[in-house]
Amino acid sequence: MFKLISIDLDGTLALSNSFDYVIHRIGGDIEKKFLEIEEAFATGEISYEKMLVDEFSLLIGLRASIIRELASEIPLIPGAKSAIAKFREAGLLTVLLTDNPDVVIDVISKRLGIDYALGTKMKIKNDIIVSIEHVNSNKKEKLRELINELGISFEECIHIGDWINDIELMKAVGFSIAINPRNPEVIRAAKITIRTKNFMDVYNVLKDYIFKN
């Protein structure tokens, strides 16, 4: 019997890269630096972990309230809130699992009614973002921390994602879905693949597994 469902953010619940959206709205030199970091990662000059640290460091010195306001405007896939509600009605704990900073994902989890939001932890003092406390560069290990606390096994979990940083977790959980993936490795790692523009389609595919296992 499944007890928990973890869901990726960018490309899964969010229609675009959520941090890109926030940075683009901020603009100016911060956006310019962000694009330079993206290019460095794309050309192999820096690692994935280094990219996350460098990008999220761009928020240091900014007001958390402004970032939260921008996060409240990030476009989400149609049907997401309804599907989350259905998962919870079926008795599943819901988890937003991403590398994105908490100042962004906490807002999105509240918009969707998600139980837990796991991402990069930022330190905030008097509404100012002052540092990065912990970067979430490994989804499997981050989820492991939570399920150990809850007394849940990986086999009792479902994961939904679309990118290569979901692969390790997809292989560990009891059931996994690749949603609109662009990488063949992600397709191979997931139990099934869904291509859709409405997240309720994911629920409709999953409901037999939720109630039968």
Question: Which secondary structure element, helix H or strand E, spans residue 51, and what is its range?
Answer: helix 48-56
Condensed to tens digits (0 to 9), the pLDDT of residues 76-115 reads 999 999 999 999 999 999 999 999 999 999 999 999 999 9
pLDDT at 208 (0 to 100): 79
User: pTM of this prediction?
Assistant: 0.96
The strand pair at 93-101 and 4-7 is best described as: parallel
Residues 17 and 37: their CA atoms lie apart, in Å, by 15
List pLDDT tens digits, range 186-205.
Answer: 999 999 999 999 999 999 99
Structural domain count of the chain:
1
| 3-class DSSP state of 75 | coil
Run of H or E including 119: strand 116-125
Tell me the CATH number at 188.
3.40.50.1000
The average confidence (pLDDT) of the chain is 96
**111 in any annotated domain:** yes
DSSP code for 155: G
Confirm whether 31 is domain-assigned: no
Residue 76 lies in a domain: yes
Identify the DSSP state of 156. Answer: G
**pLDDT at residue 210 is higher than 90:** no
Is residue 211's pLDDT more than 70? no
| Domain span including residue 133 | 4-17+72-212
Count of Cβ atoms closer than 10 Å to residue 57 Cβ: 15
What one-character DSSP code corresponds to residue 174? S
